[in-house]
Amino acid sequence: MQRIMDHIETKHSPYDMDTTAFDSEVYLEKLLKDYSLKQIMDTEAAVVKDTQTLHSDMQTLVYENYNKFISATDTIRKMKNDFKQMESDMNLLKEKMGTITNFSEQITGTLQGTRSQLCKLSEKHSLLKRLQFLSSLPAKLKEHIEEQNYVQCVQDYVHAKKVFEQYGQQPSFDGIRKDCDIIMADLKQKLRAEFHMSGKTAETLTKMGDLLLQLDEKPSDMAAEMLVCASKRLHEQIVMLQDQTERDMIEFVDLGIDGFLRDLTLVVTAYYDMFVAKHYDGERDDFQEVALKELNSFLNENIDKYMTLVQDRVESDIGLGDTHIMLRALDRLHRRLLAMRNICCGLEIQRNTVDIIISAAHQLMQTHSKALKDHFADSLSSVRLSLVSTKSDAVVSGVHLNDLITNLYVTLMEKVRGVLQDLLIFLQTDWSFNIKCDYKGALCVEGIRETLLIGFLHHISKVMNSFGDLSTSSLPNLLLVLSKTCLEMEQNGIHVLISLVDDLYEIDSENSTTLTHETEICAEMRETAQNLLDTYVRLQGSNISQMLRKSVETRDWLNCLEPRTVRAVMKRVVEEMSSIETVVASLYEQQPHQNERTTASSDSSRKTHFSNLTGSKQQFRSNWSNYTPSQLESSYVSNIHRLFSERVDIFTSVDFSKVSIVTGIIKIGLKTLLECVRVRTFSKFGLQQIQVDTHYLQMNLWRFVKDENLINYLLDEILGSAVHRCLESTLMEPNAVEIICERG
């Protein structure tokens, strides 16, 4: 409040130059009284300066607005002239309006007595017009019916009914009313006939239904008949759509939207407006509720028919057409059904497009799953055909196997990646639907991971595992290829594919208790690789065993000549092992802890005695060549040897390394040779031939294994068994054996 008072006092102060209350005399008097000479001179200088500044600003303002001032002057001059002309016109207008007023007063005075008569005449004229309309109504109704202008006909009749209700008791109007009733009764029958006639559009049906209601048809009967007739029309639309097999999916859906769904929407909205939204006095209290229930049933029944037709079309197109085109069509349908839900308020549409889309995703997933399995079967057939037609050269075969493995692995990975990318189209953000928001859709997305990917990996493992059955007579190199492929899948492929599907489809598999974990598939794939590799070892071992067994069983060991050379089968065994080692080495690298044999070890292979010192530990091996015939008669030597020797497991699982694989094959072959020797009887020269053969094997097989003692032990067992089964246990001189083996 004080600030306001101060402002008012300042505004009316005689000492403020910027206000209208400024008084120069009072201001000067106060200045001379309160200020010193210097302050007065400074004030004068300030006032002069402000005056000059204001004068300069005024001149600038005038210069800048000079043209405006000139234009304003011309405008004012022109307005002055125009106002003079306007003033004269207004005076003339005033005079004329006065004249008109006088004439109006004269007319009013003259017609004052006949005004009531004119009103009566006007009312009679209006009545005569109505009577004229009624008298010509039957003819007009017939004319409208002939022109099929049923809407105007019903409007005229409804308008005339009000007059009939007021004057219908008079004889002159009663005849006209009866004629009109007869005409409208015929129109009702005609409308009903056309209402039930097939081929009418939904728009025509609703229009005729509305006309019949205006003609006092019973609403409950009309409601039931409207739904029946509309069902016939919609059924015709369904039949027509069933024949549109040559159209693509988008054209098919557009045809259904523009035809079936448009008619259905029109019928539903018209029915709702006519029977649900209106109240009829002559009907039951629950008429609107029953009508709404019937409409809801009608809507869902026809939606279900159409959606079933669409689903059948989708199922027939899955895997044959473009998935993107199919989803574009379903997206349009989904948008239209959403619009129908907004239009049909109070109605519940149970069927939706998302179910069809999810079903399509499932079906496409099954199609892709079958395609993956077929592709895998074709790839395996190509591998088998390639292996059958490949030359048996070891080096070329090893390189060729690597190419086969690479091609098989890469094609499988690329095929699966392509399938996962293809199915990703269902989750595009530009669709109006989102299947992941639906419970079934979320299960479908997880099904892509479990049913498609994990299921296909299980299928790979199962099919490859079936080749591990010895009864299938699989090619040995095929087993190697499949085993190495499984190992590559276990080490790299499974992780890549599972990570890919989890990233693409945003699946949290780590925290899920229902999804298959990566380690489970890896363990299964490694088990399959192990089984195939073990089968390969047994199969190759069986091939080596077959050669050795036949060489022992087909020879007459009691009538042998003195050995002069190594038997050919032993050379063949060494060649086969070299070939196998070359092939295996091209696939399985040497493990870091499995060092190759040293040069010192190779020197021992050229000696007939089987003993060697490795470091400070003595490796014991039998030395049959150093025993005399009298010593050989005792069985204590072999018994002591078995006592201090470790048991050798023949049919154990091998490691994924070259040395372990080749060692497993050698063990099976030597074990077979041992068992064959145990059931034969040898002469002196037969024993010596076994001695030469075992020494040759010892000279050549040691380089294939890590533990030379294993080979020496089995060879010692073979030679020991031959000694026990010999009639005359006399061995050759070590030097002679050495010479024969080196001569080969």
Residues 139-171 pLDDT 10s: 776 776 676 677 777 776 776 666 666 665 566
Q: Which long-range contacts (CB under 8 A, 24 or more apart) does 405-409 make?
A: 405/481, 405/484, 405/485, 405/488, 405/587, 407/379, 408/379, 408/380, 408/383, 408/481, 408/485, 409/485, 409/488, 409/489, 409/493
Residue 364 and residue 419: Cα distance in Å, rounded?
10
Does residue 710 sit within a domain? Answer: yes
The model's pLDDT over 562-585, given as tens digits with 9 standing for 90+, comes to 888 888 888 899 988 888 888 888
Q: At residue 599, does pLDDT exceed 80?
A: no
Same domain, yes or no: 221 and 290 = yes
Q: Bridge partners of 617?
A: 614
Q: Read off the pLDDT of each residue in 711-739 and give the average, rounded to a whole number.
A: 87
Residues in CB range of 224: below 8 A, 6 or more apart: 294
Residue 147 and residue 160: Cα distance in Å, rounded?
20
The pLDDT of residue 204: 66
Q: Which of the listed residues 482, 506, 540 is the one where a domain comes to its end? A: 540
Q: Are strands 617-619 and 612-614 parallel, antiparallel or unpaired?
A: antiparallel
Same domain, yes or no: 449 and 338 = no
Q: Are the C-beta atoms of residues 620 and 644 closer than 8 Å to each other?
A: yes
Same domain, yes or no: 291 and 328 = yes
Residue 36 and residue 15: Cα distance in Å, rounded?
17
Same domain, yes or no: 708 and 639 = yes
More confident residue, 136 or 66: 66
pTM reported for the whole predicted model: 0.65
CB-side exposure of 661: number of CA atoms within 13 Å? 34
Averaged pLDDT score across all residues of the chain: 76
Radius of gyration from C-alpha coordinates of the chain? 56
Both structure tokens of 254: 């557009």
Closest to 692 in 3D by CA, of 740, 652, 653: 740
Q: Which of the listed residues 540, 572, 607 is the one where a domain comes to its end? A: 540
Residue 502 and residue 513: Cα distance in Å, rounded?
15
Q: Cα 510–513–515 angle (5° rounding)?
A: 70
Q: Which of the listed residues 292, 319, 348 is the one where a domain comes to its end? A: 348
Same domain, yes or no: 568 and 701 = yes
Does residue 455 sit within a domain? Answer: yes
Does residue 394 sit within a domain? Answer: yes
Number of domains in the chain: 4
Phi and psi at residue 16, to the nearest 5° = -95, 115
Does residue 275 sit within a domain? Answer: yes
Q: How confident is the model at residue 124 (pLDDT cuts 50, 70, 90)?
A: low
Same domain, yes or no: 388 and 479 = yes
Please name the helix (run of DSSP H) or strand (run of DSSP E) that holds residue 619, with its range, or none.
Answer: strand 617-619
Q: At residue 678, does pLDDT exceed 70?
A: yes
Closest to 302 in 3D by CA, of 204, 202, 161, 213: 202
Same domain, yes or no: 494 and 635 = no
Q: Read off the pLDDT of each residue in 640-645 and give the average, rounded to a whole number.
A: 50
Residue 701 and residue 718: Cα distance in Å, rounded?
15
Q: Are the C-beta atoms of residues 655 and 588 closer than 8 Å to each other?
A: no
The model's pLDDT over 374-390, given as tens digits with 9 standing for 90+, comes to 999 999 888 888 888 87
Does residue 5 sit within a domain? Answer: no
Q: At residue 272, does pLDDT exceed 60?
A: yes
Same domain, yes or no: 273 and 396 = no
Class of residue 460 by CB neighbours under 10 A (exposed 0-12, middle 13-18, buried 19+): buried
Residue 573 and residue 700: Cα distance in Å, rounded?
10
Both structure tokens of 570: 């032993």
The model's pLDDT over 339-350, given as tens digits with 9 standing for 90+, comes to 877 776 656 676
Q: What is residue 19's DSSP assignment? A: S
Q: Which stretch of 51-60, 172-181, 685-694 has the lowest confidence by average pLDDT? A: 172-181
Same domain, yes or no: 325 and 411 = no
The pLDDT of residue 642: 53
Does residue 617 sit within a domain? Answer: no
The pLDDT of residue 602: 44
Residue 502 and residue 724: Cα distance in Å, rounded?
66
Q: How confident is the model at residue 319 (pLDDT cuts 50, 70, 90)?
A: low
More confident residue, 467 or 111: 467
Q: Which structural domain range is residue 78 located in?
A: 37-147
Same domain, yes or no: 487 and 399 = yes
Residue 104 and residue 123: Cα distance in Å, rounded?
25
Closest to 367 in 3D by CA, of 408, 332, 319: 319
Q: Bridge partners of 619?
A: 612
Q: Would you put residue 567 in left (φ > 0), alpha (ψ -120 to 50) or beta?
A: beta
Does residue 599 sit within a domain? Answer: no
Q: Which stretch of 210-219, 631-640, 641-650 has the lowest confidence by average pLDDT? A: 631-640
Same domain, yes or no: 306 and 373 = no
For helices 684-701 and 568-587, what crossing angle results, to 10°? Answer: 20
Counting every residue, how long is the chain?
A: 744
Does residue 15 sit within a domain? Answer: no
Please name the helix (run of DSSP H) or strand (run of DSSP E) that holds residue 711, with its range, or none.
Answer: helix 708-724
Please name the helix (run of DSSP H) or strand (run of DSSP E) that holds residue 66, with its range, or none.
Answer: helix 66-111
Q: Are the C-beta atoms of residues 267 and 302 closer than 8 Å to each other?
A: no
Same domain, yes or no: 387 and 290 = no
